Amino acid sequence: MKLLFKSLCSVLMMVCAAALAGPEGGRCIAPAKAGGGFDLTCQLARDMLAQPHNSRPPLAVVYQPGGIGALAFKNTVTQQPPDGKTVVAFSSGSLLNLAQNRFGPYNTRSVRWLAAVGMDYGVVAVPRESPYKNLPQLLEALRDKPGSIVFGAGGSIGSQDWMKAALLARAAGVGHKVMRFVAFEGGGEALSALGDNHVQVLAGDAAEVGRQVEQGVAVRVLAVLSEKRLAGRWAHVPTAREQGFDIVWPILRGLYMAPGVSDRDFKEWTDALAKAAGQPATARALTKAGMNPAWITGRALDQLVDQQVENYRKLAADFGLAPRTGSLQP
């Protein structure tokens, strides 16, 4: 099969027959345009919950771009009555935005964190015909002629793609204020721009880059930003550390729900996802997508979210990014 998630669906549907179906008519909000990491998370959740011969409609994926997750977060917090059939995809990029008050007057307790399903990692990608064959070559060029290299980013200054690019610039000895970049609404758009040679580099995410490669986007991955090499698709790609640069960027991917959702609805979703997450095919599907299994829920997830937000708050301050103030605008 050509598309990653067609293969995910077929594998999971064969093996996860015992998985519970989510609420009938359930939907997953991807808070960006199609093709990025939020879309990937929703489609993975949909396939995890799929059952052969299931008479219920599959989990619907709905796209709600706006502020790289800000609009979806606000709509989830303010919806009345709370919708027990809707989950929303989040990533560590969402938590980075929370750390900088980019979601307006809301914080980590404004929603109910349902589950983390996988751990993604940053990657450094260039067009397939790029002259840069490895990370040292790219950073040497960035150091010598910073104005000649434009980073694409799924988000504006302070987004996680921008942060990864800023860490690369720092490693090259270039100030982040000198770094050139173009902001896009989500990783899917940024990857398309990279494949079309409109930008020279993308510090993106392993899973969403892998998905675009499946769909024919011509890119080359120079490094993965993980502690050790990833299994599966990117096993041949060295880490940044292997190439002499201590840059690691893990990306938690998961789902949250509205703050007022009932405990019964919340438990139904948790039980359904937990049963599917325990299937061996889910681990294989995550590995193929470029992610590591990371099933986390309950208090452990709340604590991890708080910890990541605090870490990101310190990182943002390190780059001189003052937290935003004021109410969130749609």
Tell me, what amino acid is at 118?
A: G
The pLDDT of 174-195, averaged and rounded, is 88
d(CA 145, CA 234): 29
Average pLDDT of the chain to the nearest whole number? 87
Q: Residues 196-225: pLDDT tens digits? A: 889 999 999 999 898 888 888 889 999 999
Quick: pLDDT tens for 67-95: 888 999 999 999 888 989 999 999 999 99
Can you give the pLDDT at residue 191?
Answer: 86
pLDDT of residue 280 exceeding 90:
no
**End-to-end C-alpha distance for the chain, whole angstroms:** 39
Q: CA–CA separation, 264 vs 269, rounded Å?
A: 9
User: Would you state the pLDDT for residue 325?
Assistant: 55
pLDDT, residue 289, reads: 77
**Residue 9 vs residue 104, higher pLDDT:** 104
The whole-number average pLDDT for the span 151-178 is: 93
Give residue-wise pLDDT tens across range 36-60: 889 999 988 988 888 554 455 789 9
Residues in Cβ contact with 100 at an 8 Å cutoff, skipping those fewer than 6 apart: 158, 312, 313, 316, 321, 323, 324
**Domains of the chain, first to last:** 4-120+251-318 (3.40.190.150), 121-234 (3.40.190.10)
Write down the pLDDT at residue 54: 47
* Amino acid 61: pLDDT: 95
Q: What percent of the chain has pLDDT over 90?
A: 62
Q: How far is Cα 130 from Cα 166, in angstroms, rounded to an integer?
A: 20
